[in-house]
């Protein structure tokens, strides 16, 4: 009788080991790499997209731009050439969601401080207030790494059009004033081809974790 149970015990151990191996192989087979989506205007809420491109279903990219950063230097598409980057819209005097968003941008900056392939870009939606001196003061307060993260100001019309025609991330103020806008909590992940690959709530820690994971996925693309 004892020999029977001993033999059964050995069989059970072997069975469990084989089962674990089979389950692991199945999991690895099914857990196939899934590329990130490429967002088009037609995939995004219409309140965040200019009416002229809401129908667009393919070939959407971030437009060329020329803005000025916290150091008075020109920042344009060449600054971000062959880079993955995270973009957002904010203003330095915002007391609601902006401080949380900025803290999370700092978190992303610090997590990727040794990765030259990834950069950050924050656009002011109140460029008439956020001049170079104001942006520099804000950058110093928040610990911005100038070589990795540009806070930009410039022509309000250009920023408005970037927000609603390129990044698909800002609401129209709707009060009759040209180019007035309400920024959202959105962070956008942009690939090396200037395509939007993800939207994230910049006020939520879990979305920042997801964003960092998605950057890792994006870096694996060829």
Rg, Å, the chain Cα set: 23
Q: How far is CA 91 from the centre of its chain?
A: 18
Q: Could you give the CA distance from residue 217 to residue 67 in angstroms, rounded to a whole number?
A: 29
Distance (Å) of CA 8 to CA 1, 15, 123, 145: 11, 10, 68, 64
Q: Is 55 annotated as a binding residue?
A: no
Q: Is 98 annotated as a binding residue?
A: yes
Q: Is there a contact between 215 and 112 (Cβ–Cβ < 8 Å)?
A: yes
Q: Is 183 annotated as a binding residue?
A: yes
Biggest distance spanned by C-alpha atoms of the chain: 90
The partner residues of 153 in beta bridges, in order of sequence, read 68
Spell out the long-range contacts of 52-57 with Cβ–Cβ below 8 A and sequence spacing 24 or more. 52/165, 53/165
Give me the torsion for CA of 120, 121, 125, 129, rounded to 10°.
90
Q: Could you give the CA distance from residue 102 to residue 93 in angstroms, rounded to a whole number?
A: 12
Known binding residues for Cu cation are: 94, 98, 183
Known binding residues are: 94, 98, 183
């Amino acid at each position: 009788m004892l020999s029977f149970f001993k033999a059964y015990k050995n069989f059970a151990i072997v069975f469990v080991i084989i089962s674990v191996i089979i389950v692991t192989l199945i999991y690895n087979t099914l857990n196939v790499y899934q590329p990130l989506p490429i967002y088009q205007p037609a995939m995004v809420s219409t309140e965040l997209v200019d009416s002229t491109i809401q129908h667009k279903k393919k070939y959407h990219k971030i437009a060329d731009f020329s803005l000025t950063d916290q150091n008075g230097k020109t920042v344009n598409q060449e600054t971000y050439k062959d880079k993955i980057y995270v973009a957002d819209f904010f203003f330095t005097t915002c007391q609601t969601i902006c401080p949380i968003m900025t803290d999370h941008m700092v978190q992303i900056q610090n997590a990727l401080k040794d990765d030259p392939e990834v950069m950050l870009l924050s656009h002011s939606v109140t460029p008439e207030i956020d001049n170079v001196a104001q942006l520099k003061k804000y950058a110093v307060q928040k610990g911005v790494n100038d070589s990795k993260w540009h806070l930009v100001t410039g022509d309000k019309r250009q920023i408005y059009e970037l927000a609603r025609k390129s990044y698909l991330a800002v609401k129209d103020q709707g009060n009759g004033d040209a180019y007035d806008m309400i920024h959202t909590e959105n962070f956008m992940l942009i690939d090396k081809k200037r395509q939007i690959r993800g939207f994230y709530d910049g006020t939520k820690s879990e979305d920042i974790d997801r964003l960092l994971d998605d950057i890792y996925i994006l870096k694996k693309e060829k």
